[in-house]
Structure 1
């Protein structure tokens, strides 16, 4: 058959076709950031002052149903973090005499922080290696949120669900 005659083929239409999915878009890893996890949660940061008592801290933890309080100065500057674990340690040291102690005597003052533009996987690794479950998120000197290990796990589960859907779409077409 002469080359000048060729029937119309499906591939002739490919240049006019657009696709919302491709192998590269369906398999490329997206890098979740701390800001992604913060976007899915209440922006309120529950804080306490260093001069307040552990009794006040325990009441606040209970009322807000949280596991840690960010300790700030009068200007909102980060001074430390007080977790349930810190309080339990003090309970073991001073049974029956713990609640009158000041927050500043029990809090963790060397606090690991992160920024909103850090990859979530990096922060998760830092939390796991440091064996802590709460990390304040800062923007320069300003406190902009608190990330919990629960936030990280929730975000990762959402990513896995999306990846499973993308794989299913690749298979089904």
Structure 2
């Protein structure tokens, strides 16, 4: 090795180092909230009134390819929620006589709801603990959306994938 060669030293790179890859810039500090899901999926509320029949509810569920309906009164206030599970239970109890029955007689009246700023972690825990898959999102004047356990899990998986990519970039440089 020539005598003029000197190995690079840490101070040689000082000032030329990029700071675009660090934990502060790559890891998301914001807690995911319900509004993040509604921002991506939309806040369309598909509702039915309590006096409608289960037959009508089943048609809406089929046509919209959804698993639950928000039940609202004439003013748009939340009265309950009607899920596929509620209908299946009623089918088992009253075979052949279910579809003409009214939504208000089958719906779940004690509804767990959330708001736009509720953390997804707490919503997922409430859904898991309560063993339900749909939760209406409430605004000032009534329901403004619906989140499902699938929405929450998909959002979290996308976050984890993004975090893994960011960490990989941080390590690789």
The answer to whether the superposition gives a TM-score over 0.5 is yes
CA contact (8 A) 2:44 2:144 kept: no
**How much has 1:161 moved relative to structure 2?**
0.9
TM-score (norm: length of structure 1) = 0.88
**How much has 1:172 moved relative to structure 2?**
0.8
Choose the corresponding residue for 2:13, options 1, 10, 24.
Answer: 10
Identify the range of structure 1 (23-32 vs 152-161) with the bigger mean alpha-carbon deviation: 23-32
CA contact (8 A) 2:127 2:149 kept: yes
Distance 1:166 1:39 in 2: 23
Distance 1:88 1:30 in 2: 40
Distance 1:163 1:98 in 2: 48
**How much has 1:9 moved relative to structure 2?**
2.8
Distance 1:39 1:28 in 2: 17
Distance 1:30 1:142 in 2: 27
**Paired positions, count:** 163
- What aligned pairs does 1:125-140 form with structure 2 within 5 A after superposition? 125-140=125-140
Distance 1:128 1:24 in 2: 32
**How much has 1:25 moved relative to structure 2?**
3.6
Any stretches of 5+ residues in structure 2 without a counterpart?
A: 1-10
Distance 1:152 1:32 in 2: 10
Distance 1:24 1:79 in 2: 45
Task: Quote the RMSD (CA, aligned, Å).
Answer: 1.6
Spell out, residue by residue over 1:72-100, the C-alpha distance to the aligned partner (whole angstroms, 9 max, x if none): 00011100000000000000100110001
- What aligned pairs does 1:148-159 form with structure 2 within 5 A after superposition? 148-159=148-159
Any stretches of 5+ residues in structure 1 without a counterpart?
A: 1-7
